[in-house]
Amino acid sequence: MARRYCLSGTYPLPLLTIILLVLSLLTGAQATYAKTEVDALRDEYFGLERDLWQWLDKATMSRNNMETQLRKVYNSHRNFTNKHQMQRSFPKNYEIGNYSEWRLLERDIIEISDYFNFYKTNIMMKPGSSANLEERAVLDFTDTVLRNNEHFSMSRTFQDIENIMVKQALYYRVHMFSSSQICNMHQSPQQFVYALYSDIALTELKGYIMMEFSWMMLRVYGKGNFTQEAELMRNDYERRTERTLKLLQEVMRRSARIVWRCDPEPQHHVLGQTYDEVTRLLQGFIENEVDLNSDETCRETCSYYQNTRTESCFKEKFCARQPGCKGRLYNCQFVQSDMWVCQAPLNSTRRYEYVEYENGSVLGRRGRCVRGTSKVDSWWRYLFWHCSYCMCLCDEQSIKSDRFFNLREAVSDFTQNRVVTGLRFIKKNRIFHLQIQEGELLPRGNINQTSLTWKPVDNYNIFDRDVIKGVDYHSLSYESRSVDLDDINTDDPSFVVTGVRFRVVGTHLNLEARLTEINFETGKLVNSKELSYWNSNDNTDVSGDNRRKKLSISSPDIPTRTIVKSIPMSKHNEFIEFVNSDLYKDAAQTTVPFMDVQDVVSNPPVPLSGVGIYYKGRPGFGGFLAPKIITYDFTRHVVVPKRTP
């Protein structure tokens, strides 16, 4: 799958690709799928227009009076312009990159869009009906719409749209641009190209409707025949549409469909708002060797103790002046004998702010020490046994250690025809949940914007009765702290995401997505209760040809300390472990990666064909785990029409 991420800088325009794309306009086969909204609308108008011309021809022969003809043409057009799909105006200030040819074209497109609003309010919405139409006003209007001079020409604008968007492949260049901007846009590149097409095509249809209306009115007022003019115009329109849709198909097929969130501006990370933490999973902890074995001896070195626990507190030394570690201790090592320890405030999840050794080495960042430093010295026993202070990793389950992940499913309300439109991590009662944004699915891939809500997560506590570890939630530990990094996609493009959940595979947290079939045309979920299924990537890191790769984080600092934004660093079919931060950079006090808790949604919302968990970061920092969404693939609904005979 093509995956494009937030890279800065400009792309050179691959000329060859454009040539290939334009060549591909000449070929192409087509299965039949429900069309996109604007294409269906155009078809509908073509039908209406054909009927009207036929009726006008008959009406003339039967000498139907002018008033009847006027009413018919007028009312049909009024009905059509009142459709809710026709109410959208072309958005001003489209951010599509710095293309000078676009700036002129955009001005003309907006002029047509504004003109249509005038048409709607002044010609179509006259109180009463066609009876109130003034011939003079209508003829003025047709003059304006059909005028063709150096200031304004609707047909020239149509030509320009084709020249710039299709022949000069601006659709393709916009796709490249949006791929480079993806995390600022809240849209996937495919969604962006599709939205641009929909907006331009709707405006072109509006222009076309106004011109057709004008020819018909001129005909009714007896100014000429005009069947031929109308037919020519329609042929041109069909030809342009065909070329446009062929290019659009190619571009959309190549566009990524991923939406992910950039970091907030550097130094604007806010705990609980933009990120949250797993705390005290593995944390640097100072303990003397004498307390690491049950015999209170000092016969070994620190590194002998790779998996042990605190057995005693010999003579109430430093061990009595710091909170103990009630879990297991791993990977002990010796750094230096004598040190000053700055303990962290009691309400902090850290144990130490920093540790400074006698030779000047510092673990963590030396700063002001609110509680004052403690001098901690190793000692000799009988001249040949050194009772050293070791630096170990403490895995202690305590009220300060938030290490839980919800395993219950989050499913959209399919009884209300709702689908998943966005994701975010949220920490509730010390448990991380993957929360879903849901919205009502409408015809042709639309989502009812006013129906969007974040479905509340299950409000349970790990100590509640009937809440079971391994069933309701997963608890991370030294042995089980991996998260699988996958994109879970639908295998069948007519399915969309209606739920997510985590499960535990071996010692890994593993993402699953619930998929349900939709009817694109009606916008209804198809038998969601029985026919939905859960999809996942079942590969493990221990067996199989396609085993998972481990993504290691080397010497990580606290992720929020970086002054540049993270970039995605994981690929599908990898996994990552929660680890302690670097000993020297942070005294191993922090658990990384952090969890990005920003909303991952697209604007406008669309159904999703997949979801994923990925890792973003920078070398030397702990990075973030975050969800991403994969937007519905509209490509196959871009149907190149069969030409009318």
Ligand X SMILES: *[C@@H]1O[C@H](CO)[C@@H](O)[C@H](O)[C@H]1NC(C)=O
Report the nearest approach of ligand X to the CB of residue 75 (Å): 4
| Cα 45 to Cα 56, 119, 246, 273, 598, distances in angstroms | 16, 17, 21, 48, 43
CA gap 39, 231 in Å, rounded:
19
CB of 68 to ligand X, least distance (A): 11
| Residue 76 beta carbon to ligand X: minimum distance, rounded to whole angstroms | 4
Min. distance of Cβ 527 from ligand X in angstroms? 21
CB 191 within 8 A of CB 257: yes
Q: Return the number of the residue (252 or 335) whose C-beta is nearest ligand X.
A: 335
- In angstroms, the CA 108 to CA 110 distance is 5
Question: Is 5 or 357 the residue whose CB approaches ligand X more closely?
Answer: 357
Q: Which stretch binds ligand X (CB under 6 A): 354-362, 554-562, 565-573, 612-620?
A: 354-362
Task: Indicate which single residue of 347, 552, 554, 644 sits in contact with ligand X (rule: CB under 6 A).
Answer: 347
Round the CA-based radius of gyration of the chain to a whole number and report it. Answer: 33
Query: Which residues, including other chains, have CB under 8 Å from residue 465's CB and lie 6 or more apart?
Result: none
231 versus 464: smaller Cβ distance to ligand X: 231
Least Å from the CB of residue 192 to ligand X: 18
Residue of 17, 642, 623, 616 whose CA lies nearest to 258: 616
Least distance from ligand X to the Cβ atom of residue 70, Å: 12
Chosen residue from 62, 93, 149, 450 binding ligand X by CB under 6 A: 450
Q: Is residue 563 within 8 Å of 267, Cβ to Cβ?
A: yes
Can you tell me which residue has the tokens 């179509």? 124
| 446 touches ligand X (CB under 6 A) | no
Choices 126-134, 260-268, 345-353, 461-469; region in contact with ligand X by CB under 6 A: 345-353
Any bridge partners for residue 621, and if so which?
A: 557
Q: Which is nearer to ligand X, 306 or 361 (CB)?
A: 361
Spatial distance between the Cα atoms of 130 and 385, rounded to a whole number of angstroms: 107
Nearer to ligand X, 60 or 155 (CB): 60
Q: State the binding string over 4-43 for ligand X (x if CB under 6 A, else -).
A: ----------------------------------------
Backbone angles phi and psi of 378, in degrees to 5: -70, 165
Name the minimum Å distance from CB 268 to ligand X: 18
For the bound state, the minimum distance from the C-beta of residue 503 to ligand X, rounded and expressed in Å, comes to 32
Of residues 232 through 271, those in contact with ligand X by CB under 6 A are none
User: Closest by alpha carbon to 193, among 236, 252, 246?
Assistant: 252
CB-nearer residue toward ligand X: 402 or 574: 402
Exactly one of 87, 184, 359, 398 binds ligand X (CB under 6 A); which one?
A: 359
Binding window for ligand X (CB under 6 A); candidates: 27-35, 153-161, 341-349, 530-538: 341-349
Which of 55, 276, 94, 286 is CA-nearest to residue 187?
94
Contact stretch for ligand X (CB under 6 A) within 28-36, 108-116, 146-154, 447-455: 447-455
Of 250 and 440, which CB lies nearer to ligand X in the complex structure? 440
Question: Phi and psi at residue 231, in whole multiples of 5°?
Answer: -65, -45
- Total residues in contact with ligand X, by rule CB under 6 A: 23
Q: Which is nearer to ligand X, 503 or 561 (CB)?
A: 561
Beta-carbon contacts of residue 517 (< 8 Å; ≥ 6 apart): 492, 494, 495, 525, 526, 527, 531, 532
Instruction: Give 85 or 540: the residue with its C-beta nearer to ligand X.
Output: 85
Question: How many angstroms separate the CA atoms of 43 and 53, rounded?
Answer: 16
Q: From the CB of residue 578, how many other CB atoms can be counted at a distance below 10 Å?
A: 22
Backbone angles phi, psi at 495, to 5 degrees: -105, 145
Q: By C-beta, is 429 or 540 nearer to ligand X?
A: 429
DSSP string, 420-484: EEEEEEEEETTEEEEEEEEEEB-GGG-B-GGG-EEPPPP---TTSTT--BTTTEEE--SSS-EEE
Considering only residues 37 to 66 of the shown chain, the ones binding ligand X according to CB under 6 A are 57, 60
**228 counts as binding ligand X under rule CB under 6 A:** yes
Token pair for 572: 């599908």
Question: Which is nearer to ligand X, 440 or 486 (by Cβ)?
Answer: 440
Cα distances from 599 to residues 21, 39, 223, 456, 565, in angstroms, run: 36, 32, 59, 14, 17
Kindly tell me which of 220 and 600 has the beta carbon lying closer to ligand X: 220
Nearest approach, Cβ of 476 to ligand X (angstroms)? 21
Which x/- pattern over 63-102 shows residues binding ligand X (rule: CB under 6 A)? ---------x--xx--x------------------x----
With respect to ligand X, which residue has the nearer C-beta, 523 or 617? 523
Minimum Å gap between C-beta 407 and ligand X is: 28
Position 222 contacts ligand X (CB under 6 A): no
Of 610, 509, 626, the C-alpha closest to 566 is 626
- Half-sphere exposure in the Cβ direction for 144 (13 Å, CA): 14
Among 128, 345, 367, 470, binds ligand X (CB under 6 A): 345
Residue 360 lies near ligand X (rule: CB under 6 A): yes
CA–CA distance, 184 with 181 (Å, rounded to integer): 6
Site string for ligand X, 394-433 (x = CB under 6 A): ----------------------------------------
3-class secondary structure, 237: helix
Quick one: which of 225, 235, 306, 527 contacts ligand X (CB under 6 A)? 225
Residue of the chain from 361, 461, 519, 546 that contacts ligand X (CB under 6 A): 361
Taking the least distance from each CB to ligand X, the nearer of 528 and 539 is: 528
Q: How far is the CB of 4 from ligand X (least distance, A)?
A: 21
The pair of structure tokens assigned to 307 is 């998996």
When asked if residue 348 is in the footprint of ligand X (CB under 6 A), the reply is yes
Q: Which stretch binds ligand X (CB under 6 A): 225-233, 552-560, 573-581, 630-638?
A: 225-233
Q: State how beta strands 549-551 and 574-577 pair.
A: parallel
Minimal distance, residue 344 CB to ligand X, in Å: 9
| Opening angle at CA 371, ends 368 and 375, nearest 5 | 90
In whole angstroms, what is the distance from residue 643 CA to residue 645 CA?
6
Q: Which residues bind ligand X (CB under 6 A)?
A: 57, 60, 72, 75-76, 79, 98, 225, 227-228, 335-336, 345, 347-348, 357, 359-361, 440, 448, 450-451
